[in-house]
């Protein structure tokens, strides 16, 4: 019997060197532009897909994942949920991924199930996620935080389920269920909501000093983990927002009263972290309390004192952060006063980011707030209103947004090699004047993509923001 000669492939399967399981290497970062010599539609790409390099870290595009609380940690450590949640993003082409608000002290968590980085035992759970993201050529950072007077509460679904059963009480997590109701700390003993939230104790000078050390220690753990960047959480009514805001800060020492005193702690923390951290450093700010309709101007007309936290003070804080060496200001809003009057709509927070972008030219600006379409996101950057786009809920609704945005904006970017067949529509060698030529035989109808598109020219790249 003659055995036929078979065409044996001579090369071993490639793998990511050093990774603990088999993992095929990505040719280039997922979501990065393919070679414009082959893909001529990439010669003059939309700005959403222009890479940006900060302190030696290259972010392959400007569609970035904002930190999103998952309330699914175990004594501060990441769980399988986080590995799947964040790992899936790394496969979908986001220019940056950020781990949610991570407490630098145990009492700085929002809920007992929040992430934390206050002890070395938590490092390994973060390394697992970061190692995977880096193995697929992704960029990942972390948001370090302290919840302040909003700490020791319960997860939103836990509260909702209780309400549906008729419960009308507060949302303070008890010691029995992992909370710390008697150790909730704020700048002043003022509850966010006395009917629902904890009654905080005023942070002592000693506590403030220990908190600065806790931030510094967490930075050392971030180095051990291998994060690409760190964001300081100064927004949404949590501790650093509480300190800068005259609504929640009634102190009479060096951390209260004047604007310089109220912004002292965030600046001290940023300076400590800048000294210890040589990679990109971000700061998330709530640029307004949205209290114009309730309390009048940010600066009281009668006495000239600051009445609440708004865009004028945010601009001053941002310039000081930029001078310290903070690289990116992540411009959000609200969360520190129940009287806020927010008018949400597409790009509703963009004017705040745009204001900062014009006023503080030596810092990169991130925009947030109901940014949900490729053209909307791209136009914000094209028009110079922000440098990057942070997305949160849209990530959860449409995790493939970066690849879909590339398709909509008429450019070709790299999908994960495992998912390549699903993106035949995008991976075409397209000339603006010629019919598409498909890359290595992949067609638009493979992978159950449906009928072949009749379009022979790329889609429009720019439209106005809704």
What would the pLDDT profile of 115-149 be if each residue is shown by its tens digit? 999 999 999 999 999 999 999 999 999 999 999 99
**% of the chain surpassing 90 pLDDT:** 89
Where is pLDDT greater, at 441 or 242?
242
What would the pLDDT profile of 52-82 be if each residue is shown by its tens digit? 999 999 999 999 999 999 999 999 999 999 9
For residue 74, the model assigns a pLDDT of 98
Domains of the chain, with CATH numbers?
47-407 (3.20.20.70)
For residue 304, the model assigns a pLDDT of 80
For residue 460, the model assigns a pLDDT of 38
Categorize the per-residue pLDDT at 453 as very low, low, confident or very high, splitting at 50, 70 and 90.
Answer: very low
Q: Taking Cα atoms as reference points, which of 56, 134, 129 lies closest to residue 99?
A: 129
For residue 301, the model assigns a pLDDT of 72
What would the pLDDT profile of 363-415 be if each residue is shown by its tens digit? 999 999 999 999 999 999 999 999 999 999 999 999 999 999 999 999 999 99
Please identify every residue annotated as catalytic: 238
Given a cut of 70, whether residue 2 has pLDDT beyond it is yes
For residue 432, the model assigns a pLDDT of 58
pTM score: 0.91
User: What is the average pLDDT value for the chain, to the nearest integer?
Assistant: 92
Please count the other Cβ atoms lying within 10 Å of the Cβ belonging to residue 249.
Answer: 21
For residue 303, the model assigns a pLDDT of 73
Categorize the per-residue pLDDT at 458 as very low, low, confident or very high, splitting at 50, 70 and 90.
Answer: very low
Beta bridge partners of 64: 96, 390
Do the Cβ atoms of 181 and 172 come closer than 8 Å? yes
For residue 438, the model assigns a pLDDT of 31
């Amino acid at each position: 019997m003659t055995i036929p000669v078979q065409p044996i492939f001579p090369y071993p399967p490639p793998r990511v060197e050093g990774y603990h399981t088999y993992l095929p290497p990505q040719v280039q970062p997922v979501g990065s532009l393919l070679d414009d010599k082959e893909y001529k539609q990439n010669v003059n790409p939309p700005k959403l897909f222009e890479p940006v390099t900060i302190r030696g870290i290259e972010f392959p595009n400007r569609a970035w994942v904002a930190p999103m609380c998952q309330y699914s940690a175990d004594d501060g450590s990441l769980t399988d949920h986080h590995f799947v949640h964040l790992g899936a993003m790394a496969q979908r082409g986001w220019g940056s991924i950020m781990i949610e608000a991570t407490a630098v002290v145990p009492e700085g968590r929002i809920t007992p199930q929040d992430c934390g980085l206050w002890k070395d035992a938590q490092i390994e759970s973060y390394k697992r996620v970061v190692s995977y993201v880096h193995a697929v050529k992704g960029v990942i950072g972390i948001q370090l935080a302290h919840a302040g007077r909003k700490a020791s509460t319960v997860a939103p679904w836990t509260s909702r389920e209780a309400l549906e059963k008729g419960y009308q009480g507060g949302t303070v997590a008890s010691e029995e269920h992992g909370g710390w109701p008697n150790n909730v700390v704020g700048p002043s003993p003022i509850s966010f909501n006395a009917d629902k939230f904890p009654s905080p104790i005023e942070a002592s000078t000693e506590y403030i000093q220990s908190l600065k050390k806790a931030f510094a220690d967490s930075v050392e753990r971030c180095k051990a983990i291998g994060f690409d960047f760190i964001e300081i959480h100064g927004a949404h009514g949590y501790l650093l927002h509480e300190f800068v805001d005259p609504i929640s800060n009634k102190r009479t020492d060096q951390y209260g009263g004047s604007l310089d005193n109220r912004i002292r702690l965030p600046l001290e923390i940023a300076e400590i972290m800048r000294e210890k951290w040589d990679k990109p450093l971000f700061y998330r700010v709530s640029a307004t309390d949205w209290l114009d309709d309730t309390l009048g101007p940010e600066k009281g007309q009668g006495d000239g004192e600051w009445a609440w936290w708004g865009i004028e003070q945010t601009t001053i804080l941002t310039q000081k952060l930029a001078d310290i060496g903070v690289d990116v200001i992540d411009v959000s809003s609200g969360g520190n006063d129940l009287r806020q009057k927010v008018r949400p709509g597409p790009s509703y927070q963009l004017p705040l980011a745009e204001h900062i972008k014009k006023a503080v030219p030596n810092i990169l600006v991130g925009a947030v707030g109901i940014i949900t379409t490729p053209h909307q996101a791209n136009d914000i950057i094209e028009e110079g209103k922000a440098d990057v786009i942070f997305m949160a809920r849209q990530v959860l609704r449409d995790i493939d947004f970066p690849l879909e945005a590339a398709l909509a904006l008429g450019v070709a970017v790299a999908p994960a090699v495992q998912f390549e067949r699903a993106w035949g529509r995008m991976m075409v060698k397209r000339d603006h004047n010629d019919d598409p030529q498909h890359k290595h035989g992949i067609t638009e109808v493979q992978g159950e993509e449906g009928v072949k598109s009749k379009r022979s020219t790329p889609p429009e790249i720019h439209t106005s923001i809704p």
